[in-house]
Structure 1
Amino acid sequence: MTTRTFKGFWSLCVLSIIFATVSAHIGRTSLTNSSIKVEQNVRSSNGRTDLVQWDGYSLFVHGQRIFLWSGEFHTWRLPVPELWLDVLQKIKALGMNAISVYVHWGLVNPAPGQFDFDHYRALEPLFKMAMQVGLWIVLRPGPYINAETTGGGIPHWVTSTVTSHLRTNGTSYRAAWEPYIEKVNAISAPWQITRGGPIIAVQMENEYVNRDDVGFPGKVEMMVQLKEAFLRGGIDVPLTINDAYMGKNYLNGSGAGDIYGFDSYPQNFDCEHPEKWNPVVTNYWNFHKDANPGQPLYIPEFQGGAFDAWGPGAPGYGACKQLTGPGFESVFDLNLWANNAKMINIYMIYGGTSWGHLPFPGVYTSYDYGAAISENRDISSQKYAELKRQGLFIRSTPSFYQTDVIGNSSRSGTADKAPVIIDNGDVFGTLLRNPKTETEFYVVRHMDSTSQANASFRLNITRPSGLRRSSSKTIQIPIVCPAIQLQGRQSKVIIANMNFERPVAASDDESSQIEREDQTVLGQPDASQSNRHDLPDLLYATASIFFSGWTRGRHVVVFYGDSGQEHEFAMKLQGMNGRLDTRHTSVRTESLGEEDLLAGYTILNVLPGMKGLLPLWESSEQVVIYADTEQTASLWAPVLEDGDNKADGKSFEYATLSSQESGPSTFPAFWSIGTNESIIVGGPHLVRSASYSTESRRLDLVGDLAMDQDTFLTVIALPKYTTSITWNGQFVETFAPSNLDGATSPGVIKIPLRQARSAASSLTSNAFKPPILDDWEYADSLPEISSTYDDSKWMTANNKTTHLPYPPLFGESVLYGCDYGFCEGIVIWRGHFYGAGSERSVRLVINGGEGFAASVYINDVLIRTTYGNSTNNKNIVSETDEVYVFPEWSVVPGRDNVVTIIQDNMGLDETHNKWQTDGSRSPRGIRGYKLSDGMFSHWKVQGKVGGYLGYRDKLRGIFNEGGLHAEREGWHLPASDLTAHELKALDQQQWMKRDPLEGLPSTSRFATQSDHALGLPHHRWMIDPHGRSGVGFFRTSFTLSMPAEHDVMMSVVFEDIGSTALPPYRALLFINGWMMGKRVGNLGPQTKFPVHKNILNHKGSNTIAVALWAMDSIVPIHTRIVLVTDTVYDSGFEAMLVGRASLR
């Protein structure tokens, strides 16, 4: 053996290659088919279109079988439409072929009869981008969506105005949702695949039951109405169901969809203990074959992370990412595969930000979810890398799209008769076999799926009958290695008997394709030609397949495995002028005693310690590569577009498509439908796109580079006759034509990218360092507690009835914010009473949702703050019932006194347990009020200006603002968003220089003449000597000038100063008017708030504002507000952006 570095690949390459010395040409016969055949291989459709069909294995799209490998993406959690394309490109780079998208009813229908599908609420820009990138869409418009968002997506006005139960066939609820569904249909129907668009399915409702023993009656009837509404609105693609569990809800009968699925979160959400695992679910397959064997096994939501709750004790999303990290993905995702699931959506693939008042009470601002793509759009996590390995394997292996479950290693009573024979009882294996190509997939894991132990084993695979007859029908593998290894929480797919078939050319005649009984998928072996091959191209591989595909007529296969393990694969090396790279390998040709049984195969044995990228075989027809697992994180397989006919953004500006435009040529970016070529590129942080121009012989690559690495560009199987390569539009290499005019271009080339970096890349890190936030100005934002405050223009809260199912507990009037139009954010209540001198206290029942808070004042004196709670969802307090004792001298006899309550609304609940759907009709406000002596004369209430009927900020929408004085005055908005009147008022406001680090100024004082005039006591200053409670509003402006051609990810951080671990304050963070963070000091855990580009202006002026609510007069609040740069990438994204005008 030899150990050396190969051309900078930093490879410790220890490889043994064993040649079988006897050639063979034996006719291939069929493998023994399993008698376990439960799927129905019958093509079905919904009768409305044949462009999306299915059988018991998988979907067919345009007549081609696909494995739906999808990721959940909520565009409204990234309120910058220009950045959606960035996320979609990163999803496509994972090897995924689809996204699943919730539509938020509450966002787009903020008031009765008002609809807004503009800006981040728009759907058409997403549809256009999906066409450009090549991702199918499963649209999920609810109406109810859950999604850890307020009310589960039901508009707040609906929860307070309808008279019937939510999510039933009640007349008033139907009258509310039907116009919304009609609008969604009108926008989305033209973007179905039937008209040349990316939508291939629409989901009805969300995780609902058809049982009568829970919830309210009318559930099934509502589903029937909803289905009729979709059909009436022109939805031709399949309607799908996502059951909350394996419950057969809406599997068939009234209200059923076309395709049934169920959601699964097997790890649950205990991010506090990320090392603690649940066992894998083992009955998916058994349920499926009993419930719907004629449909694919569909998981509309499979756990891709976890949501985190308010504290104290909440661990943060780093722990959620650990809980559902690469080990979880390996074991649990592959367990789904072992159960033969062929339609899987990962929830979430990108979580984003629950900015403003989007969250339901159980979560905070960040919705990072511990997902593969982080909230700030970074993809540097190992979760992303593992998911990419899985996605590219699926894309590379079409024979995996149709498999029968043959059995597993524990199916039989005796080990030697089990469908899967493994020589280690601590290892569990399941055998899947393609009934046409006879390719076998052995999915192996620890018998105890939670085990962190290491295990070694050997596995018996089916012997192709084309090999010499033997008494054994199996071959035990590995042949050279001592064993296959599982290290810790790991699962693997061991492949046997697979052919690397040439792809079938695309056809525009989809009708003829659909009529074929045995449909061929682009890149999938043609079953009609399988007998032309003597033996499988790949006999077996204990190494995993990262990629297998074709680049300009040459087959490329990339194997990978952990560097600490030994790996082996036996395959037929093909092509003319082949070259085995032996410069850094050891070649052994001695006989193993079975050379005639393995005739025609080369066994490649990779020993432990191999790191980097190792080219093994290069010929005119084939390139074989091995890489260690870590190296695959920087390998990419972008679809190779036609550079001579590459579509620009304008090609996707069509608004309405016709059914005549729905052939495969309409989908040039969609894998297997419009294209079947890829190219392997290694080194960069991300490769977004690749195109090849035959006319100019140029390979154009676009992507991102990490700023702190000296990157080399590795290209595998560069097309022959290539003369140049560009990176982000800059030439990085040119070749003399004679260099590549031979029969074969180099299998692997490596080029330094130093000269391809943008000019700004030579700048130091200081160029991306944001300014220190100083020069703050301050004003009081709680004038309502002043004895002279005039609330006469406020709404009088005197309703005597409510539509909510939670009536007031005591008190004459209904004091629920949403009943008066104030449904979001902070609401301020003022209860007036005439002081008789005998009033000693007030009893208040305040409901604000999990983790809420409310500060109660008598006149201008804080009595105290009442707190809800979460404690990581373990001690939920959403309503408090307390008596507030008036401090001495705080009530003034003989005049009007006011109890002022500043109340935080944490959002509306989702559907409660046992499908109590009216749980979303949360009674936020004061459920009961009573003076110890005397009565309130009247109550006044104020929330956001205009309420839901007349709110002002149409750009940011209904959930951006609440009812703080500063919000009502527009202090949080940049000057460009203010009216002339508001600008004048802002200028006239008395501002003082003060930093949030200094906290709120003291308001303690001696009595003044005006106090005497009002009859206030001389010594009232003794009541609140610290005077640090209240709400202060801080503003500052700054300018950014970030270098162009870089993706700079930034955040705002709250750094609390002081001895209190959980300081009693809340803060609302506004960036250029957008509420991008809600900091709750006494609960936590979030202190860092990512701020997306274009919310934060990277090339110009910015305004940042913080509403600081100090809730205790004793504990001073000091917090430093810091703008930080999270990470920077030299990016080609900006150059790829389709102009904003064409996207809106």
Structure 2
Amino acid sequence: MTQHPHPPRTRPRRLRRRAVVGGLATGLALSLFSPSPVSAHPAPEAGRAAAAEATTHRFPGNDHRPHTVTWDEKSLKIDGERLVVWSGEFHYWRLPSPDQWRDVLQKLKASGFNAVSLYFFWGYHSSRPGSYDFGGIRDIDRLLTMAEEEGLYVIARPGPYINAEASMGGLPPYMSTHGGEQRTADPQNLAADLEWLKAVNGIIGRHQITDGGGSVLVYQVENEQIDNSAEHIDYIEKLQSAVVEQGITVPLFHNDYGNGHGWNVPGGPGGSRLGLYAFDTYPLGFDCAGGRGGLNDYESRVRGYSPGTPVFIAEGQGGAFTAWGRDFQSDECAKFTDEAFTRQFAVNNLANGATLSNTYMEYGGTNWGWTGDPGSGFTSYDYGAAISENRAITPKLAVQKEFGYLQSAVKPIVSAAPDTAPGLTVTGGGPVSAQQRRSTERADETSVSGNGMRLITLRHPDSNDTTTSRVTFPLDLTGDGGGYARVPQKPDTAITVDGRDATTLVADYAFGSHRLVYSTSQLLTQLNAGRDLLVLDGARGTDGETVLRYAKRPKVTTVDGAPVESVWDPVRKDLRLDYEHGGSRTVRISGGGGRDLTVVIGDREGVAGTWQLDAGSGQVLVLGPELARTARVKGTGLDLTGDTREAGTLRVFAPAGVKTLTWNNRAVRAERDASGALVARLPGPAAVPVPALDTWRTSASDPERTADFDDSAWTKADRTTAANPRHGPGAASGVVLDTDEYGFHEGDTWYRGHYTPTEAGSTVKVTVKTGTAGHALVWLDGHYLGAQGDGSAAYTVPDGLTEPGKPAVLAVLVRNMGQYEDWSSDGRSKGGRGLADVDIAGAGRTQWRIQGAEGGNDPADTARGLYNNGGLYGERRGWHLPGAPDASWASTGSLKSDRPGVRWYRTTARLDLPKGADTALALRIEDAGGRTDKYRVQLFVNGWNTGQYVNNVGPQQEFVIPSGFLEPDGENTVALAVTAEQSGVGPDSVRLVNQGTVLGGVAGRPNTAPDYAALAAR
């Protein structure tokens, strides 16, 4: 764990606001929750009419003054300056380690993202009506402050409904007891919705760019409304009005689902207060073991819906979730949405004019505890994302970096409009389509003249075409020498478009004193880091050609790497460079009449180790390490922070005057190479061993199954009506048995039904609602009848087990796998959990008692919260917690259960993780029998519910441990609750595994949470 270089923020928040949005300025003196006296959201026409003149814009977190946010059909504008928004989705609750939020945010920023999209999970903050927790792992004020400090704009998405594969789509489970339909203007639901928005907007509102309080740039109202009926339009209109009244002054939008339908457009039904139209697109689909869908063009359709607003992808496919019972793991989803798709998708979105793009997910994370929706994901929410669940960088991030850097460097992209595409000559492989966009806006006031930047995109029209094509095309530069009959010009060369590939070319682009006529390489970035730099890349082994224009013939020197061929055209004044992509080479161009230019030519593999950073007083280009996080010039020194996964070379192009380097606060010896870059050697991490988990203490943990267990303190389940009819009463039982109706929302719930048979019983029929992959175990007078999944099952009562006139007890343990989302707006999330009905032949009247998580919706352990625990006996007794008394438990090396039911296992592991490093640990369950044995395991680490393993369902075996759950330098408690449906089943072993170590990282601490003694004392 390393020390973080930035001090905590101490600047006080201002409550006085001056909101300026879409050209309308209002002076507002507000308390946090007071209504706004005027609308801060004009009709879209006001935004389109706003001044287009660009001004110098610095990131708002640097000055904390109010900024204007306007827009037109091309882009957002801040203070009149156009802005590309390149964003990644991050869910804070899926990384329950607040110190590591900064790690993910820094990785986004370093990789070229300038924004982060944040859903806010209502149920995570509210265990009961009127109660909201924004502390500890739920401290979203801290999260928003971090985003600002790291230089990221924020797309705020607080719902109320968010979907997100979160339990109940983000709604709190207590809302399942409401009678009216959710996601409508039903009075009870709407009142709860507005109360949540008031609470969360009190925090979001303090971080708006329009008020100078932070970096919140735009705000989403609700999410993916799938029903466009009048009642749903009324609902979303009421939400918009409330959001504005609560002081949100940045532009509002709604995310139109499924590639967009033209619903809730600004100024239309459902969009009266919206400024922007946005949609989501997942072109490949979600079957990571199946066939991929295809890409398509959408610009004209989307502009037909909302012609005056920019193309805004609120969710663009960055991976796919993995559901219970599938035959693939999350790493298969990473392959399904691989680097090739990532590049194709980015190229296609550029070709379609998207200037606001958000990748879902950028970091997926973990559905720890019971936070996930059971229908669309298990514990891991890795999603196949570019940053993996254990926060490791994957090859997809380098592809996204290419396009983040490109759009930041070549600023005219943001204003480019469709133009006639060049005609292609294609040899070999399948057909290739070309699209061209052109901008007449200049990059900056010092640029040399040009006809307007061209952005040319090439890809196979069938995005799943696996053939390789070679392409040439004419480039028309009318009025400037007539253009070129063939690009590339060198005979026998071409632009290669490999199978499932795409590329983006820049032509007629002026930057500083330089003019790039065209390049068949992809322009990664251009910057000034003590010298003018142009960085290019391409697929290894393919031809590259770059043409620059100069007043006179310049000198060309290949500083390092393979030689570059140069050709001078004295008529056009063109310098042509020809080369093959592969490895890295540096070329210096001098004496052409402008400033000297250093060209770094690499390949796509090299982009992973290429980092462009703002050093405060200039820019820095860093080559080599796994990650370069931050840069700061201090006098003649440059302080860098970052990560290394192995020892290697660091090469740095730094501002003029920089002579020395530090890396993670340690001086490194650096020398200058022939290109003027500082070169040093960086160490890698040492091996990090982990302790074995081979000795356990064990105890049975299901006395509730027995006939004589005392349940007198349990809650009576005797209600005969429910406001939500889906919750009962049961047709046979006549009572409402749903867990939510009695304040027990998550995990396991025990039921005990007391009755005196009027006749000898022969059958028991049990109906449960568990969600996908849940189960129930049934005992009668302590005799195990069997187990079942969601739905109904009938059990035969053994002869003589019960007798007429003799009291009997039916005990049922039900595993609730979480609340379904309400994706279809059809009430699925209100379907109920726990027992739905029980029909006991000859039972007569049955008295039911119910027990779930200790404290119900008022948990004693507020640090870990509602989603951490269910109602297992061991959970109620605190056996999952560090310090729980287990000295009297039996020692064992086996994790196999001797009978059906619940058994607990506990052990400790002492860690000594190296300081200054970041080690990702996980628990792995081994079972050589595959999915045959029916049992499941809850895994707890230091009291935190880390994962749910279901052997007979699968597929997950390895469970990432969020770093905040661990004590890196001390003793850690691992507890397992094994629920077996058969005798003799359980894991072969549970191992602690090291998923990887980097030298570097961000400092982290264990989450603050009570141990056994602290909770027992309350």
TM-score (normalised: structure 1): 0.78
Deviation at 1:1104, TM superposition (A): 0.8
Q: Is the 8 A contact 1:156 1:823 kept in 2?
A: yes
The alpha-carbon deviation at position 802 of structure 1 amounts to: 1.1
CA shift, 1:476, in A, is 3.9
TM alignment of 1:90-169, pairs within 5 A: 90-160=107-177, 162-169=178-185
| Deviation by residue 1:83-114 (Cα, 9 ceiling, x = unmatched) | 00000000111100001100111111210111
Pair 1:771 & 2:688 matched: no
Higher relative contact order (CA 8 A, sep 6+): 1
Give the one of 55, 61, 64 matched to 2:81: 64
Shift of 1:353: 0.5
Q: Map Cα deviations across residues 792-831 of structure 1 (whole Å, 9 max, x no partner).
A: 1111111101122424343211110000111111111111
Which residue of 318, 332, 337 corresponds with 1:304?
318
Corresponding residue to 1:959 among 853, 861, 867: 867
Mapped pair 1:366 → 2:341: no
Pick closer, same or farther for the CA change 1:616–1:76 going to 2, 3 Å: same
Q: Which moved more, 1:1084-1093 or 1:428-437?
A: 428-437
Q: Which amino acid aligns with 2:965?
A: I
Q: CA deviation at 1:423?
A: 4.2
Deviation at 1:1138, TM superposition (A): 15
Q: Which amino acid aligns with 1:113?
A: G
Pick closer, same or farther for the CA change 1:724–1:582 going to 2, 3 Å.
closer
Q: Which amino acid aligns with 2:699?
A: A
Q: CA deviation at 1:449?
A: 1.7
**Equivalent of residue 186 in structure 1, options 196, 202, 221:** 202
SS state of the match for residue 511, structure 2?
coil
Does the aligned pair in 2 maintain the 1:40–1:55 contact within 8 Å?
Answer: no
Is the aligned partner of 1:1130 residue 2:1016?
no
Instruction: Describe how 1:392-791 pairs up with structure 2 within 5 A.
Output: 392-408=405-421, 420-423=423-426, 426-437=431-442, 438-467=452-481, 470=482, 475-480=486-491, 482-501=493-512, 537-552=515-530, 554-572=531-549, 580-581=557-558, 595-597=569-571, 599-607=572-580, 610-617=582-589, 621-642=596-617, 677-693=618-634, 696-706=635-645, 709-716=646-653, 718-733=654-669, 746-754=675-683, 761=685, 763=686, 765=687, 768-791=688-711
Separation of aligned partners in 1, 2:518 and 2:602 = 17
Instruction: Kindly tell me the number of residue pairs found equivalent between the two proteins.
Output: 931
Counterpart of 2:904 in structure 1: which amino acid?
F
Aligned CA distance change for structure 1 residues 301 and 809 (closer, same or farther; 3 Å): farther
Could you say which residue in structure 1 is the equivalent of 2:448? none
Residue type of the alignment partner of 1:961: N
> Partner residue of 1:25?
none
SS in 2 for 1:126: helix
AA in 2 matched with 1:243: D
Measured after TM superposition, the shift of residue 220 of structure 1 is: 1.6
| Percentage of pairs with the same residue | 31
Given the superposition, is the C-alpha separation of residues 939 and 45 from structure 1 closer, same or farther in structure 2, using an over 3 Å criterion? farther
Q: 1:1112 to 1:574 in 2, by over 3 A?
A: farther
Q: Which structure has greater strand proportion?
A: 2
Of residues 841, 856, 859 in structure 1, which corresponds to 2:763? 841
Cα–Cα, structure 1 residues 578 and 895, in superposed 2: closer, same or farther, change >3 Å? farther
1:715-759 superposed Cα distances (whole Å, 9 cap, x missing partner)? 13x333322111111111367xxx89xxxx9433422224xx6xx
Q: 1:542 to 1:967 in 2, by over 3 A?
A: same
Unaligned 5+ segments in structure 1 are 1-38, 409-418, 503-535, 643-676, 868-878, 976-982, 1002-1027
Instruction: Measure how far apart 1:1060 and its partner are.
Output: 4.9
Q: 1:924 aligns with which of 796, 821, 833?
A: 833
Residue 1112 of structure 1 corresponds to 982
Unmatched 5+ stretches in structure 2: 1-44, 53-64, 443-451, 1010-1018
SS in 1 for 2:945: strand
The separation in 2 between residues aligned to 1:1080 and 1:578, in whole angstroms, is 67
Rounded Cα–Cα distance in structure 2 between residues aligned with 1:722 and 1:120: 40
Q: Hey, what's the Cα distance between the residues in 2 that align with 1:581 and 1:630?
A: 21
Counterpart for residue 1039 of structure 1: 910
| TM-score of the aligned structures, taking structure 2 as reference length | 0.88
Gap change, CA 1:268 and 1:729, over 3 Å in 2: same
Deviation at 1:582, TM superposition (A): 6.7
What is the match of residue 18 of structure 2? none
- Quote the residue 1:880 is aligned against: 791
Q: Does 1:88 align with 2:105?
A: yes
Q: Using the alignment, how far apart are the partners of 1:396 and 1:369 within structure 2? A: 30
User: Hey, what's the Cα distance between the residues in 1 that align with 2:135 and 2:704?
Assistant: 35
Q: Distance in 2 between matches of 1:463 and 1:955?
A: 64
Contact 2:529 2:656 in 1 (8 A): no
- Contact kept, 8 Å, 1:480 with 1:568, in 2: the verdict is no
Looking at structure 1, the residues matched to 859 and 219 of structure 2 have their Cα atoms a distance apart, in angstroms, of: 32
1:173 to 189, 192, 199: 189
For residues 300 and 163 of structure 2, the distance between their equivalents in structure 1, rounded to whole angstroms, comes to 28
Radius of gyration: which is bigger?
A: 1
Would the aligned equivalents of 1:1062 and 1:1083 in 2 still touch at CA under 8 Å? no
Q: Residue 258 in 1 paired to residue 275 in 2?
A: yes
Q: Is the 8 A contact 1:1037 1:1103 kept in 2?
A: yes
Q: Which amino acid aligns with 1:897?
A: A
> 1:877-924, CA deviations, whole angstroms, 9 ceiling, x for partnerless residues?
xx31221111344335543211111111111111253x31x2111211
CA distance in structure 2 between the partners assigned to 1:443 and 1:219 by the alignment: 40
Q: Distance in 2 between matches of 1:575 and 1:859?
A: 98
Distance apart, 1:218 and its partner CA: 2.2
Partners of 1:538 and 1:194 lie apart in 2 by 37
C-alpha distance in 2 between matches for 1:962 and 1:83:
27
SS at 1:263 equivalent: strand
The superposition leaves residues 390-427 of structure 1 with CA deviations (integer Å, 9 ceiling, x where unpaired) of 2111211111111111244xxxxxxxxxx544445711
Superposed displacement of residue 360, structure 1: 0.8
Q: 1:574 to 1:559 in 2, by over 3 A?
A: farther
- Distance in 2, Cα, partners of 1:395 & 1:1104: 46
Find the counterpart in structure 2 of residue 980 from structure 1. none
Change (3 A) 1:378 1:573: farther
Q: CA RMSD in A?
A: 2.7
TM superposition shift of 1:550 = 1.7
Q: Cα–Cα, structure 1 residues 584 and 267, in superposed 2: closer, same or farther, change >3 Å? A: closer
Are residues 1133 and 579 of structure 1, via their aligned partners in 2, closer, same or farther at CA, if it must alter by over 3 Å?
farther
Structure 2 letter corresponding to 1:1036: T
Residue type matched to 1:833 in 2? Y
Whole-Å separation in 2 of the counterparts to 1:299 and 1:805: 38
Please state how far the C-alpha of 1:779 moved relative to its aligned partner: 1.2
Report if the CA contact (8 A) 2:353-2:417 is conserved: yes
In structure 2, the CA distance between the partners of 1:44 and 1:364, relative to structure 1 (3 Å rule), is farther
Offset, 1:927: 2.1
AA aligned to 1:291 is Y
Residues of 1 paired with 2:460 and 2:554: CA distance?
Answer: 43
On the 8 A contact 1:261/1:299 being kept in 2, the answer is yes
- Provide the C-alpha distance between the structure 2 equivalents of 1:1088 and 1:618, rounded to a whole number of angstroms: 55
Q: Tell me, what secondary structure is at the counterpart of 1:218?
A: helix
Q: CA deviation at 1:477?
A: 3.1
What per-residue deviation string (whole Å, max 9, x for no partner) do you get for residues 462-515 of structure 1? 225222xx5x7865434445211011111001211111137xxxxxxxxxxxxx
Cα offset, 1:1099, TM superposition: 1.1
Read off the aligned partner of 1:691 and give its amino acid letter: R
Letter in 1 for 2:608: A
Give the 3 Å change call, closer, same or farther, for CA 211–1094 of structure 1 in structure 2: closer
